[in-house]
Amino acid sequence: MNNFSLTDLEGIDHRQPILIAGPTASGKSDLALQIARRYGGLVVNADAIQVYSNWRVLSARPSQQDEAEIDHALYGHLEREANYSVGHWLRDLKPLLSGDKRPIITGGTGLYFTALSQGLAELPQISESIRKEANARVQKFGYQILLEDIDAETRKKLDIQNPMRVQRAWEVQKETGKSLSYWHSQTPSPDLPLAHCCAIVMKTDTEWLNTRIAQRFDKMIMAGALQEAELQLPSWDESLLSSKAIGAQELIAHLRGQLSLEEAKQSATIATRQFAKRQRTWFRSKMKNWHWVDAAHSLG
């Protein structure tokens, strides 16, 4: 891991793209804004939930004021029913890499950054019948049941605590008869190698981050997250990718009378902490050669 400070940005080529990864609530969007204000650039989303239009507050998308001040891209550009994968994101991102403004790509979806800087296997399209079968199994037995059918090599490399990743691996193997590991072995050259950008990871102290997570969910409620959930309630579909927003299930349960608001807040906060822990594990494993910035000292 390479320790890095914001003063080190003075020495980089300011035409060069910047990548900023970090766990939820670590301040990566604030850092992206700081850099854009000082050096110019286009802030680009690298978060799998912030692409959806129905969760501005709950997904911690940039505010309307921030978007009015600094150009942003790939935020809230999809309807809630849309399926969206890392392949879709790379295709949407590619034109921005050669645009007039230097991209400052920020988010917490580690797979997006890995695919961008290391390449992405061209995975086959999943048929509706296979997806429905996967959804039905998960709904009846839980996503862990899918692990029984996934080959050992893929399981070894898979984040088995991530339901979306497990289901994706199962669907690919079921659809093609070949493992996800096989398809990854066919990976082409990356769109943006690390040598061609400045890649930053937000380094966080666990206690500091947990405090921010708790404070942020309270702020989300005050800013209208519950009202966002109310809009989803009449046609709520937990199988949609957009429904995987952390806190969404809990707020829906509250609106259905299954949890008090305090219970929903506590459950969502615990889920967010668990998610942040998985993110940090991914970053330590996959981003050892990135520049690591102390999050607590980068804000301000």
Coil, helix or strand at residue 261: helix
Right CATH number for 207-277 from 1.10.287.890, 3.30.300.30, 3.40.190.10, 1.20.1050.10?
Answer: 1.10.287.890
Q: What is the pLDDT of residue 297?
A: 76
CB 293 within 8 A of CB 202: yes
Q: What is the DSSP letter of 78?
A: B
Contact 261, 254 (CB under 8 A): yes
Mean pLDDT of 238-262: 96
Q: Kindly report the backbone phi and psi dihedral angles of residue 175, in degrees, each rounded to the nearest multiple of 5, phi listed first.
A: -70, -40
Alpha helices in 6-79 (DSSP H): 28-39, 64-69
Extents of the domains making up the chain:
2-120+191-204+288-298, 128-184, 207-277
Residue pointed to by tokens 């793209």: 17
Which residue type occupies 141?
A: F
Cα–Cα distance, 152 to 167 (Å, whole number)? 15
Q: How confident is the model at residue 93 (pLDDT cuts 50, 70, 90)?
A: very high
Look at residue 247 and tell me whether its pLDDT is greater than 70.
yes
Q: CB pairs under 8 A, 24+ apart, for 143-149?
A: 143/167, 146/170, 149/173, 149/174
The domain made up of 2-120+191-204+288-298 has a fold known as Rossmann fold (3.40.50)
User: pLDDT value at position 64?
Assistant: 94
User: What pLDDT is recorded for position 108?
Assistant: 96
What number is the average pLDDT over the span 139-164?
91
User: Does the pLDDT of residue 249 top 90, yes or no?
Assistant: yes
pLDDT at 198 over 70: yes
CATH fold group of domain 128-184: Histone, subunit A (1.10.20)
Strand segments (E) across 79-159: 103-107
Measured over the CA atoms of residue 112, residue 116, residue 120 and residue 126, the dihedral's sign is positive
Residue type, 24: T
Residue 123 has pLDDT above 80, yes or no: no
The tens digit of pLDDT for each residue in 1-53 reads 566 666 677 777 778 999 999 999 999 999 999 999 988 999 999 999 999 99
Question: From CA 76, how far away is CA 54, in angstroms rounded?
Answer: 7
